[in-house]
Every structure is written in C-alpha cells, then in structure tokens.
C-alpha cells in the first residue's frame, strides 16, 4: 500500500516525519485504461498553478502516539482503498510523450509491472507543527499567508512529468490535524476535487471497522454512494469537439510559452511573504438586505423589471466583496479592473455531461471595466458601486445560459484570457473567484467530525477570492482573501462600514 522515505526535516515551522507513496489497493478492474486523454476543458488550464486546499480538524488532546497509531493508518488505508476502488487515475502522472500532440494522464493497473518513470501512487507527507497555532490558522482573523504554506503539499512538476495530486497530513499536538491537498489544474476542477475528498472521507468514516478485512471481503462489501462514483469517460466531451479545441488550446499555450512543451506551470502573481489572509462572512440576513435594496433601486430606476436581474447568492457576495476590494486598493480611477469567474458546464452543455464526471468541465468568463465604476453610487442608496457590479455579474451569468454546444465555443477564448492576464501583470486589478458555495466543503467528515475550517491556500498566488458555504449551515457565505496588510486593513474597514450602512 505504501512506500516511504524517512526524513526528519524542519521546514517553515513544521517537522516532516515521512514522505510516503500511497499506492492503490489491489482491486483490479480489467476495463481500466492506462492512458486517460485530456479534453479541451483540461488543456485550457494546462499551465495554470495548482489548486491548494486545507481542511482543519479539531481533536482535543491529540498526541503524536495517538495520531501515529490511530489516525494516520486509517487515513492511509482509506486513501489506498479510495484510489483502488474508483480513483485509480489520480495515482498516475501527467506526461507529454514526443509522439503525442497533447499531454495525457498515464497510469498502470494494480498488479502490473511498474515502469521506472510511471509509478502508481499519491505522495503523502506526514508532518508535525512546531509552533504554529491551530486556533489562529483555523480562525477568521488576519494571519500571515506564508504560515499556510508550511501545511500545503508540494505538487511535483518537472519538464517531463507532473503529479496530479499530492497530500500533506499535519499534526497540531493537543489541538487537531490538517489535511492539505494540491491538485493539478489541468486534470480536475473544484467539483471533482471535492468528489474525491468526500469519497476518501466517506470510506474512512464508514468502513474503519473493515480495516483488517480480506481483499475478498472488501471487494464484495465496500462501495461508495452513486453520487461519489466518478466517471472518467472523456467521450462525453471529446466526441462533441469536432473542431479540436483541445489542440487549439495546446497550441495557444505553445505560442504563449515560446513553443515550450515543458509541463511546468506559470509563475505566481504574488510574493506570499508580503501577504496576509483573512475570512469575512456575509450572513443570510446581509444577503437578503442587499438583494432587497438592489431590487428597490431597479424598480425606482425602471431600467429593467426587478425579476430580470439575476441576484443569486454568488452575484450578491461577489458584487459586495469586489466593490470593497477595488476601494481598498485605491489608486487611479481609470485603471483596468477585470471581473472573472468560472461556470460549471456539466448541466449547461448539449448534450449534458453527467454530474459525476471527473475532470475539468468549467468555462471562464471575464469582463473589463474601470475602477471608477466601483466608487460611483446612486444617490441616497448607500450601495456604493455594488449596484454596478451586480448588474455586470448578472449580465455575465445570464449570457452563459444553457444548451451550450462545444462547436459554438470561441476559438480565441484562451488567447483573450491570456490578454487579460497580461493586463493584470501591467497594473490592472483582477477580481477572480475560487471555490463555490455549492461544494459542501464542510461535509468532509473523515470520522473525527466536520472541518473546523477550510481554506483555499492558492488564492495567495492568483489574487482570487475564495467562496464557501458558511460552516454553520445558516445560509451565509465565507469569503477568503489574501492581500497586502494595508489593503487588508482598508478592505476590512470598507466591508464593515458597508454592512452597517446596509442595515440602516
């Protein structure tokens, strides 16, 4: 199940006890392939930075001995089982052979001879905190962004080969533990990531008593709920891509990087050492008040009927947070601001893609505006620029619609996104979104309770904001940010004052 290298190294206030390769449990499936092709939705994200998440679990009085003898073995065993049952491709690597027009995921079936350059398994680092404060890191207040990096697994990516997932499990003595996961953006999206995490958690929690059962018993007894069984069938997408957008995007990347077939990803936008993190909460009451005020403004202006304005929780939260971010940064009012988000296309495509499809099935959407638009406000509304942003986001969401066909996609979509990234690098302000309020991230219970906190670490490299449902299940939204200290202080001031004005 596991091969390990032993090392006791102190890196960024954590001690690395072990780096282990967790291999899939020996549950053969003759129908599995050894090469999983990428689709257009994968090659689009080929060079993007990995997506990194942390799940904090509070376990009082947890010692190393208990962690090492009880928790770690169960996490490792259930991970091996999860990989072997349904998630075997995650134990492979992304490679780009010389004869191939695009990269693919390569892996071998359990029981087959392993080649030196393709070894099934997921890298798991086992670490112990040395001075990091669990309560602080799993809280909402302002924290040093670099401290989260000590808990985040490194995804091994070279010119020729890339891991698709990597995991770190870190003990906080007497407080709890943290599970960190990094995934390659060109292999799976946020919905797929959470499907994998929930599958691992489900098997760990529900089948701990079967840890020592025979392989025969496990094969006949252990199973996942249907919604957690992934489909890796690329035919849903590739057979409906007659224009070959998958290769169009590959060639876009080759042009962008100087014809470089290296699998290495783009550099980070930010210096994490200069950033702080914080989480802000918009309650159900805040969102309702904001929606009511926007609809009243629409009715007063008689520009459109109120029921035509798409004021979803997503639109409301982003409109409010984006407005605070632009005000917090200050600077030239004529500077470019880019609104950006991804939309899940599974149900929007014609024909639709199954909800349990595992891979990328999202599309990016952007809109260029100016900073001044976030500052001007309709007289007497107390809405700041929120009304403007809500209108823009509403338009963007409604334009996506449904019944999308791949044939109708824009061949210049990735080129346009690269141009947007260039604007950001030249001083524009990018306002993107990571995560979703629909992922139920706080439902990831491995058997030691729900997470105390979930963080998307990688927003410190992209500048995006993270969204998640409230951990309290009360209909609110958690918003995570990584900003410079002064910008964060400014943001907090605008955020808090705006809520006070909202409830007047």
pLDDT digit string, tens, across residues 353-383: 999 999 999 999 999 999 999 886 655 555 7
In the chain, count of helices (H) and strands (E)?
Answer: 15, 19
Q: Are residues 211 and 332 in the same domain?
A: no
Q: Using the 3D structure, point to which of 256, 285, 308 is the last residue of a domain.
A: 256
Is residue 193, in this structure, part of any structural domain at all?
yes
Q: Is residue 146 a contact partner of residue 273, using CB atoms and an 8 Å limit?
A: yes
Is residue 85, in this structure, part of any structural domain at all?
yes
Q: Using the 3D structure, point to which of 256, 283, 310 is the last residue of a domain.
A: 256
Q: Are residues 331 and 220 in the same domain?
A: no
Q: Are residues 190 and 319 in the same domain?
A: no
Is residue 263, in this structure, part of any structural domain at all?
no
- Enter the DSSP assignment of 223: -
Domain count, the chain: 2
Q: What is the pLDDT of residues 137-180, one digit of tens each?
A: 999 999 999 999 999 999 999 999 999 999 999 999 999 999 99
Residue 469 belongs to what domain range? 272-502
Strands 35-37 and 165-172 come out as: unpaired
Q: What is the CATH number of the domain that holds 459?
A: 3.30.559.10
Q: Are residues 216 and 343 in the same domain?
A: no
> Helix, strand or coil for residue 164?
coil
pTM above 0.85, yes or no: yes
Residue 7's pLDDT is what?
40
Is residue 261, in this structure, part of any structural domain at all?
no
Q: Which residues pair with 434 in a beta bridge?
A: 466
Is residue 262, in this structure, part of any structural domain at all?
no
Q: Are residues 33 and 176 in the same domain?
A: yes
Q: Using the 3D structure, point to which of 256, 282, 310 is the last residue of a domain.
A: 256
Residues carrying an active site annotation: 185, 445
> Which residues lie below 8 Å from residue 441, measured CB to CB, with a gap of 6+?
53, 55, 194, 435, 451, 454, 468, 469
Q: Are residues 398 and 462 in the same domain?
A: yes
Per-residue pLDDT of the chain (504 residues; tens, 9 = 90+): 655 444 444 356 899 999 999 999 865 555 455 899 999 999 999 999 999 999 999 999 999 999 999 999 999 999 999 999 999 999 999 999 999 999 999 987 655 555 555 668 999 999 999 999 999 999 999 999 999 999 999 999 999 999 999 999 999 999 999 999 999 999 999 999 999 999 999 999 986 656 555 555 555 567 899 999 999 999 989 999 989 999 999 999 999 988 789 999 998 878 999 999 999 999 999 999 999 999 988 877 765 555 578 999 999 999 999 999 999 999 888 999 999 999 999 999 999 999 999 999 999 999 999 999 988 665 555 577 899 999 999 999 999 998 999 988 988 999 999 998 888 888 899 999 999 999 999 999 999 999 999 999 999 999 999 999 999 999 999 999 999 999 999 999 999 999 998 766
């Amino acid at each position: 199940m596991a091969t390990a290298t032993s090392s006791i190294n102190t890196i960024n206030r954590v001690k690395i006890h072990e780096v282990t390769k967790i291999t899939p449990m020996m549950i053969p499936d003759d129908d599995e392939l050894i090469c999983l092709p990428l689709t257009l939705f994968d090659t689009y994200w080929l060079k993007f930075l990995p997506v990194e998440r942390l799940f904090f679990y509070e376990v009082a009085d947890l010692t190393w001995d208990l962690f090492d003898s009880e928790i770690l073995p169960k996490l490792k065993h259930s991970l091996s089982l999860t990989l072997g049952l349904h998630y075997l491709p995650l134990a492979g690597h992304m490679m780009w052979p010389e004869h191939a027009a695009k990269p693919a995921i390569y892996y071998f079936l359990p029981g087959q001879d392993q080649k030196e350059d393709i070894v099934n398994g997921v890298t798991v680092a086992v670490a112990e905190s040395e001075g990091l404060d669990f309560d602080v890191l799993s809280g909402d207040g302002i924290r040093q962004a670099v401290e989260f990096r000590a808990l985040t697994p490194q995804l091994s990516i070279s010119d020729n080969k890339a891991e698709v997932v990597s995991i770190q499990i870190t003990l906080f003595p007497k407080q709890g533990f943290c599970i960190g996961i990094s995934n390659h953006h060109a292999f799976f999206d946020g919905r797929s990531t959470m499907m994998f995490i929930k599958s691992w958690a489900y098997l760990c929690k529900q089948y701990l008593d079967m840890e020592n059962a025979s392989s025969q018993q496990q094969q006949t007894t252990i199973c996942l709920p249907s919604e957690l069984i992934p489909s890796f069938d690329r035919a849903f997408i590739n057979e409906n891509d007659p224009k070959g957008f998958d290769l169009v995007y590959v060639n876009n990347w080759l042009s962008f990087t100087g014809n470089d077939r290296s699998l290495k990803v783009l550099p980070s936008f930010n210096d994490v050492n200069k950033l702080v993190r914080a989480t802000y909460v918009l309650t159900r009451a805040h969102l309702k008040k904001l929606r009511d005020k926007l609809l009243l403004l629409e009715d007063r202006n008689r520009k459109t009927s109120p029921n035509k304005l798409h004021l979803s929780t997503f639109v409301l939260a982003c409109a409010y947070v984006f407005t605070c971010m632009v005000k917090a940064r200050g600077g030239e009012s004529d500077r470019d601001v880019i609104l950006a988000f991804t939309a899940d296309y599974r149900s929007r495509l014609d024909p639709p893609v199954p909800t349990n499809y595992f891979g990328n099935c999202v599309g990016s959407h952007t809109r260029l505006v100016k900073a001044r638009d976030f500052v001007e406000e309709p007289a007497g509304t107390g809405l700041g620029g929120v009304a403007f942003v809500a209108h823009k986001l509403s338009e963007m969401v409604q334009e996506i619609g449904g019944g999308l066909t791949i044939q109708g996609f824009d061949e210049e979509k990735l080129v346009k996104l690269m141009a947007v990234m260039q604007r950001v690098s030249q001083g524009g302000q990018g306002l993107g979104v990571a995560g979703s309020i629909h992922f139920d991230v706080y439902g990831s219970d491995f058997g030691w309770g729900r997470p105390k906190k979930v963080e998307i670490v990688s927003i410190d490299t992209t500048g995006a904001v993270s969204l998640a449902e409230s951990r309290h299940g009360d209909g609110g939204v958690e918003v995570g940010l990584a900003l410079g200290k002064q910008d964060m202080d400014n943001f907090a001031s605008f955020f808090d004052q705006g809520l006070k004005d909202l409830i007047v």
